[in-house]
Amino acid sequence: MALDKEIFKEELKQRLRENYAMELEDASEQEIFYTLGALVKARYSDAWRDTWKYYVDKNKKQVYYFSIEFLPGRMLKSNLLNLGILDTAREALTDLGIHLDDLAEVEKDMALGNGGLGRLASCFMDSIASGGFPGNGNGIRYDYGLFKQRFVDGYQVELPDEWLQSGNIWEVRRESKAVDVRVGGHVYLAETNDGKLKPVYENERVLRAVPYDTGMVGYENNVVNTLRLWAVEIPDSEEDKYQSIQGRRELEDLTAVLYPDDSNEQGRLIRLTQEYFFVSAGIQSIIRHYKKWFQKPISKLSEYVSIHINDTHPALCVPEMMRILIDEEELSWEQAWDITVKVMSYTNHTIMAEALEKWSIDLMQRTLPRMYQIMEEIDARYVQTMQELHPHDLVERTRIIRNGQVHMAHLSIIGSHSTNGVAKLHSDLLKSVVLHDFYIIYPDRFNNKTNGIAQRRWSQIVNEPMSNVLDETIGKTWRQDSGDLKLLRNYQSDQAVLEKLAEAKKINKQKLADYILGTTDIEVSADAIFDVQIKRLHAYKRQLLNLLHIIKLYQDLKENPSLEMQKRVFIFGAKAAPSYHYAKVIIKCINETANLINNDPDIKDRIKIVFLPNYNVSLAEKIIPAADVSEQISLASKEASGTSNMKLMLNGAITLATLDGANVEIRDAVGDDNIYIFGLTEKEVYEYYENQEYSAQRLYDENAVIRRVLNAFIDGTIPNIVYEGREIFDSLIKYNDEYFLLRDFDSYVEAQEEIDKAYGDQTFWQKMSLINIANAGRFSSDETVSRYAEDIWKIESKDSFVTEKG
Ligand code: OX2
C-alpha cells in the first residue's frame, strides 16, 4: 500500500499527541523516533497476522532457525525500505524539518551477537521473509547485548550495553505464550500404572520462558515472519522459592548477558543453562503450535516442521525433541528418532578447535539430568548400530560421549539429516579433515551453503550515492534482484560511469572522514586510500599482519622521506572477547602505533591509522561504503567464510586476501585481475603442520625487513608497549608464530605495493571497483536462503505457492 505523505505527517503528529501529549515542535528526537517506530509497526501488523494465518490455513511447512545470536542492528530504515515507504517517509519527515538519518541514529543497535555468526542469522531472517519463505528465528532476549567498547590509554575497556533502557519499539511481549523449562535436580525413571517408564523429576528448578516477538518484514511482499526471543522469569508457582533479592537475581541473570565468561565454572553453568533454556522453550512452543493449529498427528511432524541448529549452541534441540516425543507424546524411541533426524539440520561455522563445544559429563548431568540420560541413550544406540558397519576406532572417535565429555558437534551431526559448511573451501575441509570421520559414516549428509548478505541493507540503505548511480546506469531492477547488478559489467569502459562511481565513493569517504574527526579527533583526507579491516579481533584473522605492514611503511618513510606512495588511511574496527588477553594486547599495540604515526610530523598525512571504537553493525554501515581496500587476510583454512568481504565488495572495495573462506569464491567471481591474492594456500598450511618445518626464528634471522619491524615492538620505537610489545614479539619468535604471519609477510607487502600502484591509475582502479560491484550479486543471502529452503529445509516460498495454485 503506497504511503500518502500528507496522511503520514498527520498520523505522526496525532500519535505524538496521544502518546506524549506533545506537539511535534516540542518533541525530542527520541520521542519522535518512538512515535515513528510505533507507526511503522502498526503498518505491518495486519500483514504479520495474515502471514501467520496463511501458513496455518495452508498447512505450510515452516523452518525455525535456532541461534544463540542475532545481530539485526538498527531496524527503522530496513523496515521502511522493506515496506516500500522509505522515500516517502524521508520526504514527509523533511517537510516537517526532520532528517530521517538523524532520527535513525536514535535507535540503539540490537546487538545480541558477537560477529559474523549472529549477523548471518539476521541477514537470513531478512531474506527468508523477503523470499516469502515460512521461517522464524528462535533465540534469547539478552538484557545486555555485546559490550560497548571504549579505549582508555589504548586499552580496550568494556561497558555494559543497555540497549533496552528506553524500551524496544519493535518487540511484542507475548505472555500468553510462555512455557516452563525445567533444569537441575534429579530425574529417575519409574513405571506407570500402564507399565510404561516415565521420568520423575525431583528438586528441579522451573524457569518461566516468556517470548518477545519481533516482526521480520519481507521486501515489498506483505510477508512478515517472526523472530522469537525468550526471556527468563520466575513462575508464579515458584514465587515462594525466590523471596530473597539475591535468589531472584541469580535466576534473572540467566538471560542477562550474551556469552557470559565461560572461563570459570559458574560462567559455564550459566551458558549451558542458557542453551537449554532457549532450545526447550522454542521446541515446546513449536510442538504446541503444531498440535493446536495444524491438528495433524505428531508422527507427521517432519512434514511441517524443520529446525535449524545454527552452530552447536542449540545442539540440545536433538535430545529435547526426543524428550518431548518420548516422554510427552509417548512415541517409541525408533519413531521419535526418525522424526528428530528428519526435522533437524546443522551448520558448522568454524574449524577452530576451541570453538567446538564440549561439556563435561558431570556438569551436564548436574545441570540437565534428563538431557544427559537421553544423550547417553543416543550415544549407546549410535555405537551399537555403527560398530556393525565401521571399524571400532572410527566409531569411538565419532561417538557423542567420550573421554568424560559430551561433544556437541557430534550430537548435531548424528542427530540431524544435514551438515553444511559456509563456503566451498570450508565445506571441503569439513569433509576432508575436520569432520572426515563423519563424512565416511554419513557421506550424504554433507553439503555446502556459501554464506550471503542482506544486499538491500548493505547497498540501498547504507550507500545511497552508489545506489543512485546504479539506478541511472542500469535501471532499478537490481534493487529487487541483485543478480541484475551484473548489467553493470557493460559499463566497465564507460568513463562517465566510472567517474560517477568515483564521485559516490568520494562522498562516502568524506562522510566517514567527518565521522572519524568527530569521534577520534584524527583528521584524514578523503583523497587517501581507505584501507579497511573490520571484524572480531582474533589471532587467526591476523590484524597483526596488517600492523606489521604499517610499521614497515612507517620505517620506510622515516628512512626515505621522498619515497613515493599513495596516501593511506588504515581503518580498524574490532572488539576483543573480554577474556582474550592476546587480542587485547594487539589492540593496545595498534592504538600506540597509531598514536606514534598520526602525531609524527615527518609523516604528516601520508599514513594515518584510525581504530574506531565500538565496532558494531551501525558502524559497519558507515565504514563499508567508504572503503577502497578490503583486508581479508586470515591464515588460509581458518576463516570459515567471512561476510564483511562480501559487503565490502558490493560497495566497490577491492579485496586484498588470502585464499581463505569465501575469498576463494570472490576471486572466482571477479577474476584474478580484480582482486589481490597473497600468501600460503590452505594446502601449504596443512603441509607445514605435517612436516613441522616452519621456523619463524629463521625468517627473523634471514629477513632484515622482518627483523626491523619486529624489533620496533621491543626497542622502544613504539612507545608505551613495554609488556605488550614483548608479548607480541615472543608470540612470533619464541612461540613460532602460530598463524604464519612472517611466512606471508613478504607476499602481503608485495600485494600492498601493487595496490599502491594501481590506485595511482584512477581509471584502472575504478574499473576494478565496478567489476567488484557488478559481480557481488551472487553473494546475496536471498540466494543462500533459497538453497537452504530447497535442499535442506524443504520449504516453499509463498510466491511460488500462490502462483502454483493460481
Ligand atoms: C563465524 C565465522 O568465523 C565466519 O567465518 C563466518 O563467516 C560466520 O561465522 C558466519 O558463517 N562464530 N562465529 C563464526 O563462527 C563461529 C563459531
Mean pLDDT of 384-393: 98
**C-beta separation of 420 from 447 below 8 A:** yes
Q: What percent of the chain has pLDDT over 70?
A: 99
Q: Where are the domains of the chain?
A: 59-74+109-352, 457-779
CATH code that applies to domain 457-779: 3.40.50.2000
pLDDT tens for 407-454 read: 999 999 999 999 999 999 999 999 999 999 999 999 999 999 999 999
Q: Is the confidence at residue 768, as pLDDT, over 50?
A: yes
Mark whether 643 is an active-site residue. Answer: yes
Topology alike, domains 59-74+109-352 and 457-779? yes
Give the chain's length.
806
Q: Grid cell 571497483 — which residue?
A: 769
Closest C-alpha residue for ligand 1 atom 15:
349
Cα–Cα distance for residue pair 52/223, rounded to 1 Å = 9
Q: Which atom of ligand 1 is nearest to the CA of 426?
A: 5
Mark whether 805 is an active-site residue. Answer: no
- Is the beta carbon of 422 within 6 A of some atom in ligand 1? yes
Who's near 360: CB < 8 A, 6+ residues apart?
404, 405, 406
Mean pLDDT of 784-801: 90
Mean pLDDT of 342-371: 95
Q: Is the confidence at residue 329, as pLDDT, over 90?
A: yes
Eight-class DSSP state of 470: H
**Cell for 320?**
529435547
Cα–Cα distance for residue pair 681/216, rounded to 1 Å = 40
Element (H, E) at 120: helix 116-130
Mean pLDDT of 604-613: 97
pLDDT of residue 247: 80
Mutate to test the pocket of ligand 1, among 68, 117, 124 (most ligand atoms within 8 A of CB): 117
Q: Is the confidence at residue 801, as pLDDT, over 50?
A: no
- Is the beta carbon of 642 within 6 A of some atom in ligand 1? yes
- Is the beta carbon of 117 within 6 A of some atom in ligand 1? yes
Cα–Cα distance for residue pair 361/372, rounded to 1 Å = 8
- Chain mean pLDDT for the chain: 96
Distance 174 CA to ligand 1 centre (A): 31
Who's near 350: CB < 8 A, 6+ residues apart?
311, 356, 640
- Is the beta carbon of 643 within 6 A of some atom in ligand 1? yes
Cα–Cα distance for residue pair 382/333, rounded to 1 Å = 13
**C-beta separation of 134 from 795 below 8 A:** yes
Distance 350 CA to ligand 1 centre (A): 6
Mark whether 476 is an active-site residue. Answer: no
CA 727 to chain centre: 30
pLDDT band (50, 70, 90) for residue 806: very low
- Is the beta carbon of 357 within 6 A of some atom in ligand 1? no
- Is the beta carbon of 421 within 6 A of some atom in ligand 1? no
Cα torsion 569, 572, 573, 575 to 10°: value is -160
Mark whether 196 is an active-site residue. Answer: no
**C-beta separation of 585 from 545 below 8 A:** no
Closest C-alpha residue for ligand 1 atom 7:
642
pLDDT of residue 1: 67
Cα Dmax for the chain: 92
Q: Which amino acid is at 140?
A: I
- What is the spatial order of strands in the sheet that 676-677 belongs to? 607-611, 568-573, 529-534, 629-632, 654-657, 676-677
Cα–Cα distance for residue pair 798/806, rounded to 1 Å = 12
Inter-helix orientation angle 762-774/741-760, to 10°: 110
Helix/strand/coil percentages in the chain, nearest 5: 55, 15, 30
Q: Is the confidence at residue 523, as pLDDT, over 50?
A: yes
Closest C-alpha residue for ligand 1 atom 13:
117
Half-sphere exposure of 260 (CA within 13 A, CB side): 19
Burial 277-294 (b: 16+ CB within 10 A, else e): bbbbbbbbbbbebbeeeb
Distance 552 CA to ligand 1 centre (A): 31
Distance 527 CA to ligand 1 centre (A): 33
**Cell for 409?**
558437534
Mark whether 349 is an active-site residue. Answer: yes
pLDDT tens for 21-76 read: 999 999 999 999 999 999 999 999 999 999 999 999 999 999 999 999 999 999 99
Q: Which atom of ligand 1 is nearest to the CA of 451?
A: 11
Q: Is the confidence at residue 483, as pLDDT, over 80?
A: yes
Mutate to test the pocket of ligand 1, among 258, 350, 542 (most ligand atoms within 8 A of CB): 350
Distance 114 CA to ligand 1 centre (A): 10
At 524 the three-state DSSP class reads coil
- Is the beta carbon of 661 within 6 A of some atom in ligand 1? yes
pLDDT tens for 130-168 read: 999 999 999 999 999 999 999 999 999 999 999 999 999
At 214 the three-state DSSP class reads strand
Q: Is the confidence at residue 803, as pLDDT, over 60?
A: no
Mean pLDDT of 585-606: 97
Eight-class DSSP state of 220: S
Mutate to test the pocket of ligand 1, among 349, 635, 643, 665 (most ligand atoms within 8 A of CB): 349
pTM of the predicted protein model? 0.97
Of 647, 743, 767, 798, the catalytic one is 647
Distance 541 CA to ligand 1 centre (A): 12
Beta strands 145-152 and 155-161: pairing type? antiparallel
Eight-class DSSP state of 653: P
Burial 741-777 (b: 16+ CB within 10 A, else e): bbbbbeebbebbeebeebbeeeeebbbbbbbbbbbbb
Cα–Cα distance for residue pair 772/774, rounded to 1 Å = 5
3-state secondary structure 438-452: HHHHCHHHEEECCCC
pLDDT of residue 802: 44
- Cβ-based neighbour number of residue 592 at 10 Å: 19
pLDDT of residue 244: 81
Of 349, 370, 407, 449, the catalytic one is 349
**C-beta separation of 185 from 203 below 8 A:** yes
For CA atoms 49, 208, 313, 390, the dihedral sign is: negative
Distance 316 CA to ligand 1 centre (A): 20
Q: Which amino acid is at 483?
A: G
Cα–Cα distance for residue pair 9/24, rounded to 1 Å = 10
CATH code that applies to domain 59-74+109-352: 3.40.50.2000
Cα–Cα distance for residue pair 481/89, rounded to 1 Å = 23
Q: Is the confidence at residue 245, as pLDDT, over 90?
A: no
Who's near 565: CB < 8 A, 6+ residues apart?
553, 557, 606, 756
Cα–Cα distance for residue pair 655/633, rounded to 1 Å = 10
pLDDT band (50, 70, 90) for residue 262: low
Mean pLDDT of 178-184: 97
Bridge partners for 705 per DSSP? none
Q: Which amino acid is at 728?
A: I
Who's near 792: CB < 8 A, 6+ residues apart?
306, 308, 345, 418, 420, 447, 449
